[in-house]
A and B are shown apart, each in its own frame.
Chain A
């Protein structure tokens, strides 16, 4: 009987229940709520499901994920060493048509204007007591670009990764709810009814040269974001080359799915109770919303400026797509525009600022890295 009890005690002592805390229980509950939102409510299920499951796994004590060799170590290596964000960008590049941007280069300005949200949140975070690197990482949520947010956070404030990634992806999934009221606030019904001229066709030559030249220019200017921009443009080159269909197909399907699973699960694995359950997380979630709303407002307001500058040819609604979130933000522009005028097709016009937003967020991240510098290695 004694031997049985000793064995039983040994199993208990080695079990996770022995070290399970209230914090772990709360975080598992958070994971379950996120799972519910993803699977039952359809909020970015491809991303939120692995994030939520990773969150549950991260809060099982004594798993040895951070110390013992295995798949979790591989995933955490990919997160900690910025392997996954550039690979996601490869897939995004392969999936995205840069044609609308090339056809109408002035929409680049909308992508730049929408980055204002990043700095609204940055200043807000500093006022709330975050240090400069933490504030920069929080601000980048306003770019609505998950991979760039993760990339910058891992370089500048890795301890905030869980909160920032969850805020970024949650708000990206809520784009159809967050953006329309702001878009309507800054536009009149007449503005929303504006029908834009059809875009000119873009030649194969332009589609091939643009990614190469953009990579060289931005990488030379901001080497820290070379891997992000380079992979984005390489993916697009796969798409446009015409003779790389196999690579394009892999980048936008199989590879994208594999890396999404790893990146999202790895992000969830960073949501441990001891680093996530604190006052800072609540502030980050609030600041992320401010960043998102600020970026949307700035994009639409700059759209108004462009409308006045070109004599009413630009529909200011496309400005909101400057916050990245490809292609959902562009779809929101289309939906809001079509509600005002059923014959209005803004999707392709909004893809210009949408792609510009991806490039603009990467440039903003690279500039902040150059100005503030990465966190010192401990």
Chain B
């Protein structure tokens, strides 16, 4: 990806999208861990 663009607005938009995307996926992972904990490990 290095040097893909030098447009600062594009860099800002792509970067914010990735930051939001990564943290949203992390949120999803947390919910999956919680579900696994409740369903498989039997935690109430």
A interface residues (Cβ-Cβ under 8 A, vs B): 101-102, 105-106, 108-109, 111-113, 115-116, 118-119, 122-123, 126, 132, 135, 203, 205-206, 209-210, 213-214, 217-218, 221-222, 356, 359-360, 363-364, 367-368, 370-373
Residues of chain A within 8 A (CB-CB) of B18 are: 363, 367
Contact: B19 with A102, CB < 8 Å?
no
Within 8 Å by CB of B30, from A102, A126, A135, A221, lies: A102
Do A372 and B2 contact each other (CB < 8 Å), given the known contacts A119-B12, A363-B23?
A: yes
B10-36 contact mask (Cβ, 8 Å, vs A): 1 or 0: 011011101110111111011101101
- 10 smallest beta-carbon distances between A and B, as pairs: A119-B12, A373-B2, A105-B27, A108-B23, A105-B30, A112-B23, A112-B20, A367-B18, A112-B19, A367-B15
* B28 to chain A: closest residue by CB: A105
Instruction: How many A-B residue pairs have C-beta atoms within 8 angstroms? Tell me.
Output: 104
Residues of chain B within 8 A (CB-CB) of A368 are: 11, 15
B interface residues (Cβ-Cβ under 8 A, vs A): 1-6, 8-9, 11-12, 14-16, 18-20, 22-27, 29-31, 33-34, 36-37, 41, 43
* Cross-chain pairs A/B with CB under 8 angstroms, 18 sampled: A102-B30, A108-B23, A108-B26, A109-B20, A109-B24, A112-B23, A119-B16, A122-B8, A123-B9, A206-B37, A356-B23, A360-B23, A368-B11, A370-B1, A371-B2, A371-B11, A371-B15, A373-B3
Contact: A122 with B34, CB < 8 Å?
no
Contact: B23 with A122, CB < 8 Å?
no
Contact: B33 with A221, CB < 8 Å?
no
